[in-house]
Amino acid sequence: MFSYETLKKILFKFEPETAHHIAEFGLKALGKCRIAKAYMEKKNYISNPKLTQEVFGVTFANPVGLAAGFDKNATMIKAMKSLGFGFTEIGTMTPRPQDGNPKPRMFRYPEQKSVQNAMGFNNLGAHTVLKNLKKVYPFSIPIGVNIGKNKTTPEEFALSDYKTLIKKFETTNDYLVINISSPNTPNLRDLQNEKFITELFVMAKEMTNKPILLKIAPDMEASVAIDLCKCAVNAGADGIIATNTTIDYSLVPNCQNFGGLSGACLTQKSANLFKELARELFGKTILISVGGISNGAQAYERIKNGATLVQAYSGLIFEGPSMVRKINEEILELLSKDGFENIKDAIGANLK
């Protein structure tokens, strides 16, 4: 039998970015093949009333979504349900096409089940991504749209880039995500300040009724992160996604000194910051947790700590296409073990 472990050995012979392109090719093909897609959906996609919830006025059949960064150009959406995801997030995309940073810019660390990327918002640009998105939206699972500024856009004109993107994608998303937390665009994280966040969300809420969320980095002090998130919520943000990749290079021995680390090395750091944020923000806004989640116990702990939804990405590289199904199956087992009838009863249970 051809297992993912066999496929992984083959993929890991290629450079990480090349392997990603191979995976993209395969998932695009899967999305076009009805028989294969139906088979994979039946195998991996879990739609259980105990996991189903309404968020942002949209139905999420299960709480596990694909994090931004994997499907930058909205080319793989049709295959996401086949991988078991309850929702997907495309991007990050920028107003103009962008090549990203020089190669090599992606590195894998199999022993630590971690990845490092310095991609730099490489994408085909808002016009092309929107064309791709319009072919599938609305889809059978919710789609989030993650947006960022172009590398060449000066900081003082950053607001204009986000304005352009919000206007462009206004009718083709179930929620929007403001990305000012990637470590791979120079000075982008400098926008994680109260003045810019207030201006951005006040502007955004005047432009669209769609839910708009802020994605934050894991590398700031918890008190600073809490203040920024409170500022965003007060200015109109509908939710917080925590966290992006980390620049704490002490987490992986002999890693590169640039780019962001994700995967298992980020699990504890992301979980700790999320826990601190949720203590202050749970019940006041929607919280989505991402960072080093690859099994049901990790996902369930984030849920009990206040996450309405969780996201994964790097774990897929090491665990394969059955990962999301296993996460959802484990969440169901843990819900039953704790005597919860529905996932909604478990959300924030550790805070009540």
| Residues comprising the chain, all counted | 352
Predicted pLDDT at 352: 85
Predicted pLDDT at 120: 97
pTM for the full model? 0.98
**Cα–Cα dist 9/149, whole Å:** 36
Report CA torsion sign: 307, 243, 194, 351. positive
Predicted pLDDT at 1: 54
Identify whether the C-beta of residue 79 lies closer than 8 Å to the C-beta of residue 30. Answer: yes
The neighbour count for residue 213, using CB atoms within 10 Å, is: 25
- Residue at token pair 């806004």: 285
Condensed to tens digits (0 to 9), the pLDDT of residues 109-153 reads: 999 999 999 999 999 999 999 999 999 999 999 999 999 999 999
Regions of the chain with pLDDT less than 50 = none
Catalytic residue among 82, 114, 181, 182: 182
CA-nearest of 242, 235, 232, 238 to 277 is: 242
**Cα–Cα dist 235/213, whole Å:** 11
- Residue at token pair 């995967």: 263
DSSP state of 246: B
Condensed to tens digits (0 to 9), the pLDDT of residues 283-322 reads: 999 999 999 999 999 999 999 999 999 999 999 999 999 9
The β-bridge relationship of strands 114-117 and 260-263 is antiparallel
Predicted pLDDT at 113: 98
**Cα–Cα dist 181/194, whole Å:** 14
Q: Provide the b/e sequence for 101-138 (b: ≥16 CB within 10 Å).
A: beeebbbbbeebbbbbbbbbbbbbebeebbebbeebbe
CA-nearest of 308, 295, 287 to 267 is: 295
Contacts for 300 with CB less than 8 Å, ≥ 6 apart: 330, 331, 334, 335, 346
Predicted pLDDT at 27: 97
Q: Is 350 helix (H, G, I), strand (E, B) or coil?
A: helix
The β-bridge relationship of strands 106-109 and 175-179 is unpaired
**Cα–Cα dist 254/268, whole Å:** 20
Q: Is 182 a known active-site residue? A: yes
Torsion of CA 262, 163, 155, 230, to 10 degrees: -60
